[in-house]
């Protein structure tokens, strides 16, 4: 039996995806509100920075993986224009449904697809950009997911991974207090789900730090990998070019 981490717990590999699904089934309807509350709106700036670095141009093909409620897909939709396309994907149907409703409310109709990042249902070299925001951390086999992202990118295409990361040392005490004392309480009050927000705090600690993720991306087929620390490393944007 192979094991992996679900937060600080060690679980059977086959069980992780089910547990992660439980988290997002539970939080889907309050996901956007919780994001704004937890980050004091900062997630909007982190995503806006990602969109800027992505440098999407008219006519491009963009795949948003673990797209959830659709923030990035929505931003890219206006950039690709009528000749381009944005595909909004996630493994979780409840999250996708929230995203699809938001996109439609904004007058945007995109292909929305339920799929696992570790086995993408697309041919090789189809996309100019692949993005994954706050999703990689939840995947059981990050190496497989990264290899899939590389496979579907065109040569010279860009992968953008926005994810929680390892904060700068002077911020650590405060950040730990916030993560383990405040976040679960917010989860209990707003989303009626303390456990999922405890998982969030724990999963961030178990995620590879900036350098380790850079190495994983290099091993996954990306030739030029760089990262940008945001908000003192609370979040990092990793950018890889498929060579």
CB 17, min distance to ligand SAM, A: 6
d(CA 110, CA 88): 7
User: Are 90 and 98 spatial neighbours (Cβ–Cβ below 8 Å)?
Assistant: no
Site membership for ligand SAM, residue 20 (CB under 6 A): yes
Is residue 6 part of the contact set for ligand SAM (CB under 6 A)? no
Beta carbon nearer to ligand SAM, 20 or 225: 20
DSSP the chain: --EEEETTEEEEHHHHHHHHHHHHHHHGGGHHHHHHHHHTTHHHHHHHHHHHHHT--TT-EEEEET-TT-HHHHHHHHHHTTT-EEEEEES-HHHHHHHHHHHHHTT----EEE--TTS-SS-SS-EEEEEEES-GGG-S-HHHHHHHHHHHEEEEEEEEEEEE-PPPGGGHHHHHHIIIIIHHHHHHHHSS-HHHHHHHHHHHHHS--HHHHHHHHHHTTEEEEEEEEEGGGTEEEEEEEE-
Does the footprint of ligand SAM cover residue 90 (CB under 6 A)?
yes
Pick the binder of ligand SAM from 6, 71, 86, 240 (CB under 6 A). Answer: 71
Identify whether the C-beta of residue 163 lies closer than 8 Å to the C-beta of residue 66.
Answer: no
Does residue 68 bind ligand SAM (CB under 6 A)? yes
Please report how close the Cβ of residue 44 comes to ligand SAM at its closest, in angstroms: 10
CB closer to ligand SAM, 133 vs 225: 133
- Which lies closer to ligand SAM via its Cβ, residue 48 or residue 243? 48
Out of 75, 110, 130, 139, the residue judged to bind ligand SAM by CB under 6 A: 139
Member of 66, 103, 161, 225 binding ligand SAM (CB under 6 A): 66
Told to check if 134 binds ligand SAM by CB under 6 A, we report yes
Residue nearest to ligand SAM (CB): 68
Residue 70 structure tokens: 């659709």
Query: Is residue 98 at the binding interface for ligand SAM, with CB under 6 A as the rule?
Result: no
Q: Which of 118, 180, 190, 228 binds ligand SAM (CB under 6 A)?
A: 118
Q: Quote the least distance from Cβ 220 to ligand SAM, whole Å.
A: 15
Site size toward ligand SAM, by CB under 6 A: 20
Tell me: does residue 128 bind ligand SAM (CB under 6 A): no
Tell me: does residue 220 bind ligand SAM (CB under 6 A): no
Instruction: Give me the residues that bind ligand SAM (CB under 6 A), please.
Output: 20, 24, 65-69, 71, 90-92, 95, 116-118, 133-135, 138-139
């Amino acid at each position: 039996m192979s094991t992996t981490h679900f937060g600080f717990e060690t679980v059977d590999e086959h069980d992780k995806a089910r547990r992660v699904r439980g988290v997002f089934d539970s939080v889907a309807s309050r996901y956007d509100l919780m994001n704004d509350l937890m980050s004091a709106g900062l997630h909007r700036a982190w995503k806006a920075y990602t969109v800027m670095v992505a440098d999407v141009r008219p006519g491009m093909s963009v795949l948003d993986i673990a797209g959830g409620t659709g923030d990035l897909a929505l931003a890219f939709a206006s950039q690709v224009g009528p000749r381009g396309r944005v595909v909004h994907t996630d493994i979780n149907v409840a999250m996708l449904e929230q995203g699809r409703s938001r996109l439609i409310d904004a007058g945007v109709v995109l292909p929305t697809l339920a799929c696992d990042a570790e086995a993408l249902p697309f041919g090789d070299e189809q996309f100019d950009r692949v993005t994954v925001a706050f999703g990689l951390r939840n995947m059981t086999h990050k190496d497989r997911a990264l290899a899939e992202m590389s496979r579907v990118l065109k040569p010279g295409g860009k992968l953008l991974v926005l994810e929680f990361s390892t904060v700068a040392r002077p911020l650590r005490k405060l950040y730990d207090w916030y993560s383990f004392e405040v976040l679960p309480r917010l989860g209990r009050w707003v989303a009626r789900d303390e456990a999922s927000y405890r998982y969030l705090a724990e999963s961030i600690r178990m995620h590879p730090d900036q350098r380790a993720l850079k190495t994983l991306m290099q091993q996954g087929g990306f030739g030029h990998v760089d990262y940008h620390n945001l908000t003192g490393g609370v979040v990092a944007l990793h950018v890889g070019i498929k060579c």
